[in-house]
Amino acid sequence: MIKTIYFVFFICAFALGLWACTGKEQEKFKSLSTAHFEQLIKDNKIQLVDVRTVAEYSEGHIPGSLNINVMDENFAAAVDELLQKDQPVAVYCKSGRRSRNAAKLLVKKGFKVYNLDKGILNWIDEGMEIEK
């Protein structure tokens, strides 16, 4: 009987802990499909940022994008210098992981952010334009 009470208590505490953590991790940016991301670029005055390395960027990028490497220790300073807070920012990377991290950082800095879900690899697979 006591083991059952401890078990129920443990399950309740675990569930409460998970619920508390998920509330903090809600994303305050929008991840968009390739088609919606392309439409966003066409329809809006958006700051388009490729957050990959310079080498990756030079292999091919979405036309009109600015390269700011999210892994660079000067990412925050570069953002402050190169981007305007009154305009939304659209970010992308190779597969979507780094751009989600960049989006979280940009949201904390006060930007409205859109993320390309699945990254430039999916963009290329969908037959969208890139430039070198």
The more confidently predicted of residues 59 and 23 is 59
**What residue ranges do the domains of the chain occupy?**
28-125
For tokens 């991790």, name the residue.
25
Name every residue whose Cβ is closer than 8 Å to that of residue 91 and which is 6 or more positions away in sequence.
49, 50, 51, 99, 102, 103, 106, 113, 114, 115, 116
Considering the domain delimited by 28-125, tell me its CATH architecture.
3-Layer(aba) Sandwich (3.40)
**Three-state DSSP class for 114?**
strand
Q: Would you say residue 92 has pLDDT above 70?
A: yes
pLDDT in tens, 3-28: 655 555 545 455 555 454 444 445 79
Average pLDDT over residues 82-111: 96
67 burial via Cβ count (<10 Å: 0-12, 13-18, 19+): middle
pLDDT at 42 (0 to 100): 93
pLDDT value of residue 44: 80
For residue 88, give every residue at least 6 positions away whose Cβ sits within 8 Å of its Cβ, in sequence order, or none.
44, 46, 47, 111, 112, 113, 114
Residue 28 corresponds to which amino acid? K
